Amino acid sequence: MDLFEHQARQLFEEHGIVVPRAEITDSPKEAREIARRLGGRVVVKAQVKTGGRGKAGGVKLAADPAAAELTARQILGMEIKGHTVGTVMLAQPVDIESEFYVSYVLDRAAGRFLAIASAEGGMDVEEVAATRPEAVARIPVDPAEGVTSAKAGEIASAAGLPPRTADVLVRLWQVLVREDALLVEVNPLVRTAQGQLLALDGKVTLDDNAGFRQTRWGAEHEDRDDPLETAAAAKGLHYVKLDGSVGVIGNGAGLVMSTLDVVAGCGARPANFLDIGGGASARVMADGLSVILSDPAVKSVFVNVFGGITACDAVAEGIVQALDTVRLTKPLVVRLDGNNAARGRAILDEHAHPLVQQATTMDGAARRAAELATAAA
């Protein structure tokens, strides 16, 4: 999960990295108050989980509280790379002398971290990296050894950063380790005309696998690409939006993946998929169906279950009970196989819902679901 800039800078601050004074708000009126508190002149910054805000007009200097209100009004609601700005941060402006780039990122292939640093940070760092790669230092970091003062000195010197930045590099590593991050980035890390080192922007990506011990930034802060993904995640379901018209529900990641292939093989495209995992209780089925059916692109739904520990009759009961709470609006093709498949099919036959049909093979069911989706399109 990515953090917002204002969350990232909170972590930096807690680990002793200096950041400018700042406050966030979603109201232009309050922006004016904040600007007054911060001394009048402020930088107004869009809070969205994407980079390049500066170039998109999402970072602007305001000369006084009235200008801050106006600028906040402009930036709030702005769309930046598909993200709508709901919050702005107002920060005390800094008198920049130099802009540096520093980051640590997990290098999965190498099984270690990579320190990336450059004395030419700022908004054009991607271009610097592309046109003059020698201006960007890449130093492997052994996760067991971490970034000691000596290592930090090595990174700073390789990148041509002032030796004093070593202290920031050590602290930034501590942010990564203590917060279970996969990426921490400061761009720009600036040296002010007064010689102070400050983190002016921050990006932190947390490792979702450590979510159980990093509960501070709740999922409600997450701005997923699709609102249904958020709704599904809130119910503990794994739902992914795709761009076709067949809704896919299956149990287990492997089966779900092959279901997508089979649907595609029948000439239709999956609209989404939802893995209900091992347990397919009525509750999970109802939640799953309601998520899938709320996607307007769905023209038919394919429920593909291979009964293992969860027997097919329990899944069938789940579907029948789910149909009591969820109004079925699209045709449902169900394929039950494996443990207690015959009993499961009998339960669905008995229920005889007009929009539910069964198929005994995965290919047959996929073909049927594809036909229904095409017919409805």
Alpha helix (H) residue ranges in the chain? 5-14, 28-37, 65-75, 125-131, 149-159, 165-178, 227-234, 253-265, 282-293, 312-325, 341-351, 362-376
For the record, the structure tokens of 356 come out as 């539910």
Nearest Cα to Cα of residue 253 among 274, 231, 279: 274
Establish whether 99 is an annotated binding residue.
yes
To Mn ion, the closest distance from the beta carbon of 325 in angstroms equals: 47
Site for Mn ion in 197-256 (CB under 5 A): 201
Answer positive or negative: Cα dihedral of 163, 172, 99, 42. Answer: negative
Q: Is 59 in the site for ligand GDP (CB under 6 A)?
A: yes
Q: Is 94 in the site for ligand GDP (CB under 6 A)?
A: yes
Integer Cα distance of 306 and 257 in angstroms: 13
To ligand GDP, the closest distance from the beta carbon of 52 in angstroms equals: 5
- Of 187 and 272, which has the nearer Cβ to Mn ion? 187
Residue tagged active-site, from 185, 229, 239, 317: 185
Mask for 227-266, x = binds ligand GDP (CB under 6 A): ----------------------------------------
CB-CB contact of 228 with 295 (8 Å): yes
Query: Site for ligand GDP (CB under 6 A): which residue of 28, 51, 270, 344?
Result: 51
Q: Which residues have C-beta within 8 Å of that of residue 35, sequence separation ≥ 6? A: 41, 42, 62, 64, 65, 67, 68, 69, 90
State the DSSP H helix or E strand holding residue 96, giving kind and residue range, or none if neither: strand 96-107
Residue nearest to ligand GDP (CB): 54
Number of residues that bind Mn ion (CB under 5 A): 2
122, interface contact from ligand GDP, Mn ion, none, CB < 5-8 Å by kind: ligand GDP
Establish whether 55 is an annotated binding residue.
no
Nearest Cα to Cα of residue 222 among 22, 86, 58, 27: 86
Give how far the C-alpha of residue 211 lies from the chain's centroid of Cα atoms, to the nearest Å.
Answer: 13
Residue tagged active-site, from 5, 101, 154, 179: 101
State the DSSP H helix or E strand holding residue 118, giving kind and residue range, or none if neither: strand 112-118
Establish whether 309 is an annotated binding residue.
yes
CB-CB contact of 228 with 294 (8 Å): yes
- Of 96 and 129, which has the nearer Cβ to ligand GDP? 96
Q: Is 93 in the site for ligand GDP (CB under 6 A)?
A: yes
C-alpha neighbours within 13 Å on the C-beta side of residue 283: 4
Establish whether 330 is an annotated binding residue.
no
Q: Is 43 in the site for ligand GDP (CB under 6 A)?
A: yes
Q: Is 54 in the site for ligand GDP (CB under 6 A)?
A: yes
To Mn ion, the closest distance from the beta carbon of 37 in angstroms equals: 24
Site for ligand GDP in 111-150 (CB under 6 A): 122-123
Integer Cα distance of 11 and 7 in angstroms: 7
Q: Is 201 in the site for ligand GDP (CB under 6 A)?
A: yes
Query: Site for Mn ion (CB under 5 A): which residue of 187, 245, 272, 340?
Result: 187
* Catalytic site includes residue 239: no
Integer Cα distance of 116 and 172 in angstroms: 12
- For Mn ion, the binding residues (CB under 5 A) are 187, 201
Residues at the site binding ligand GDP, with contacts judged by CB under 6 A:
43, 45, 51-54, 59, 91, 93-94, 96, 99, 122-123, 187-188, 200-201
